Structure 1
Amino acid sequence: MSRLRRMPPRRSYDQYCSAARALDLVGDRWTLLIVRELLAGPRRYTDLHADLPGVSTDVLASRLKDMERDGLAGRRRLPPPGAAYVYELTERGRALLPVLQALGEWGRPELGEPRPTDAVRAHWFALPLLRALDGEGLVEVRLEEGVFHLHVGAVSGPVYGDGPAPGEPDARLVLDHAVCTAVARGELALADAVRDGRVEVSGDGALAKALREA
């Protein structure tokens, strides 16, 4: 019997309702935030733990096992010289992107000013910026907190990633934390920030041109 089959059955609301069924799978604490991290592509357990401050190792391991069992994520071993195990979303798991986008949109009014206890990672701004960009292409974003890149309009594979863009991006955006936070909170449109000179846009791709001409 496989390791996954020996796991106890997941808890259920036992309600014949699609929302309840969905919450059976993703309603536990941390699950959707793990999905957020895995939207960047395959991640090692140690990387996930580093970018989910506050989660215990036991809870993270338990949630990942639940996600494997429920068909939201899988685990595989990288070929040498990596030889490490990584977790990645299945097609079913990746279909949660619009759910996270809608949840982020709904939660905008709750952001307010950062609290002293709030952790910050540059790539946590990826999903809000994806909502602000139309079209398709590779975008590199530079903040004081770090650099990440976006695969705007991607229908498969990662939708964002840490670090510089892999290859020449269609657009590069340079902006400060205050501007990015205002965009994330819905207080400032990205196009308005570009027009006001608060976002530096470079690149020859269609996305860069659209932002400069908006």
Structure 2
Amino acid sequence: MSPRRSYDQYCSAARALDLVGDRWTLLIVRELLAGPRRYTDLHADLPGVSTDVLASRLKDMERDGLATRRRLPPPGAAFVYELSNRGRELLPVLQALGKWGEGELGERRPTDAVRAHWFALPLLRALDGEGVVEVHLDEGEFHLNVGAGDGPAYGDGPAPGAVDARLVLDSATCAAVSRGDLAPADAVRAGRITVTGDGTLAKALREGRQDREDRPVDA
């Protein structure tokens, strides 16, 4: 394992970047916010990262106390990586970074990869309240744990338990929400998001109580 590189500056921002400033580290955190992931799953959902770099970053994250590696019990018996409590504390950091980068999204480029669950963090930023939300896109399904203080922020596939709201929408609408161009309640009113469910979140979306004053309406 290579020694940790450091900016050697007595500054909290510099110390933080010593741990997460390397290329790919924060995107690995984004993936692990969904809960435990196998190495092969991480590699599949981080297109462009080499196997050597991914393995090196994961080892660094273990060394720095951001992630742990453990073996699943039978019949799985595979090794998975998951965030430590310290690692999960990076969720608001990623959310702030995503908010700051909304204006950089623009239109999707031909070379841009996309995964359905990459829309999870923008949707978490856009939704108020607490509850489990299933999201159905053409590219796949994922679920959000809105307002959850502990555990995974989101997960791949349908929710394992009760669901407060189910959203069906296309990737163009998700992209508009991610860019900050469209509030979820406005998309519901425009017929771009179909909402089902009897939970508080579903009712708030149908009744237009999920508007964000700081988000312009998509024309």
Q: What's 1:3 paired with?
A: none
Work out which of the residue numbers 1, 15, 20 in structure 1 matches 2:14: 20
Residue 41 (str. 1) matches residue 25 (str. 2): no
Q: What's 1:198 paired with?
A: 192
Cα shift at 1:44:
0.3
Residue 128 (str. 1) matches residue 122 (str. 2): yes
State the alpha-carbon separation in 2 of the partners of residues 11 and 176 from structure 1: 42
RMSD over aligned CA atoms reads 0.7
Q: What's 2:26 paired with?
A: 32
Q: What's 2:165 paired with?
A: 171
Residue 187 (str. 1) matches residue 178 (str. 2): no
Deviations 1:122-179 (A, max 9, x none): 0000000000111111000001111110011111111111111112310000011111
State the alpha-carbon separation in 1 of the partners of residues 171 and 6 from structure 2: 41
Deviations 1:57-99 (A, max 9, x none): 0000000000000000000000000000000000000000000
**Number of residues paired by the alignment?**
208
Partner SS state of residue 101, structure 2? helix
Deviations 1:1-54 (A, max 9, x none): xxxxxx332000000000000000000000000000000000000000000000
State the alpha-carbon separation in 1 of the partners of residues 134 and 204 from structure 2: 15
State the percentage of identical aligned residues: 85
Cα shift at 1:213:
1.1
Work out which of the residue numbers 56, 64, 82 in structure 1 matches 2:50: 56
**4+ residue runs over 3 A deviation:** none
Provide TM-score, normalisation by structure 1: 0.96
Gapped runs of 5+ residues in structure 2? 209-219
Q: What's 2:2 paired with?
A: 8
Work out which of the residue numbers 77, 102, 111 in structure 1 matches 2:105: 111
Residue 210 (str. 1) matches residue 200 (str. 2): no
Q: What's 1:138 paired with?
A: 132
Residue 67 (str. 1) matches residue 93 (str. 2): no
State the alpha-carbon separation in 2 of the partners of residues 101 and 95 from structure 1: 11
Work out which of the residue numbers 70, 92, 97 in structure 2 matches 1:98: 92
State the alpha-carbon separation in 2 of the partners of residues 118 and 67 from structure 1: 26
State the alpha-carbon separation in 1 of the partners of residues 12 and 3 from structure 2: 19
Cα shift at 1:197:
1.5
Partner SS state of residue 118, structure 1? coil
State the alpha-carbon separation in 2 of the partners of residues 73 and 211 from structure 1: 35
Partner SS state of residue 133, structure 2? strand
